[in-house]
Amino acid sequence: MTTTILQVRNVGWRAARVPVLERVSFEVSPGEFVAVMGRNGAGKSTLLDIVAGLRAPAEGAVVLAGRPLDELTAIDRARMLAHLPQNVRADLSMRAEALVLMGRYAHADRWFESDEDHRIGEEAMQRCDCLEFRNRTLATLSGGERQRVFLAACLAQRTPLLLLDEPATFLDVDQQLQCFSVLRAEADRGTACVAVTHDVNLALTFCTRLIVLADRGVARDVAAGSALEDPAWLRSFSSRLMVEQGGTRPWVRYQ
């Protein structure tokens, strides 16, 4: 039995002839909550799209639970991974609950959702603090409210791997904390979570591991708990970031 759910092996990708990613390799195990970080244009969203099967790598391969991604059917992929992209295009006339239940399609064995599907969808909406929106159309929701519904759809999919591209987009501070708390709890259940984020302190607080992309590759791959022992990697983001040692644990501030 494989001990990893995801293997990224020497993956490369180009936009026209311009290299965006080169020789990117890492593995993710069940129960890890991995933050993928880096400046704009570092290839974070591209990397998640490749892992999700939405883009084919120019070189290298992606392996899910020991099986090459390009050998999996769409249904197999949907049962293995859920993907929340940076921008979601959805039918705004759709009810929030109907969108969440779309996460159950990969598991359906008939035309209509089962009682179990509805139970799982309701639980996911409760966890994402959006159950009160279940009968509202997406058009009536704010950007942050919609984002919580999209995350609930991913949780309802019940996959061993979650890919999330800036899941805290549009969320207020309290909901950002709620979002990352939910994802950490999901990882504690054994799900592998890989999330793109620009918030260093959220990543250090909730994630178990940081992967920093720079210069078309992996510049840093370190456990979150020891990441600030050598904070030189912060320069990959900005020269204005500094480590503050006060309180019970160090954190990153800006100047």
pLDDT at position 85 is 94
- CB-based contacts of 248: which residues, under 8 Å, 6+ apart? none
For 100, residues 6+ apart whose C-beta sits below 8 A from its C-beta are: 121, 124, 125, 134, 149, 152, 153, 156
Identify the pLDDT of residue 111.
67
CA angle 123, 166, 246 (to 5 degrees): 100
Task: Please give the class, per CATH, of domain 6-254.
Answer: alpha beta
Of 252, 140, 141, give the one whose Cα is nearest residue 202. Answer: 252
What is the per-residue pLDDT for 241?
93
Q: What pLDDT, on the 0 to 100 scale, is given for residue 93?
A: 92
39 and 237 Cβ atoms separated by less than 8 Å:
yes
Angle (CA) 64-84-57 rounded to 5° is 45
What is the identity of the amino acid at 232?
A: A
Task: Tell the residue number behind the tokens 């909550």, with chain if given.
Answer: 33
Does this model's pTM top 0.85? My answer is yes
Give the residue ranges of the chain where pLDDT is below 70.
1-2, 110-111
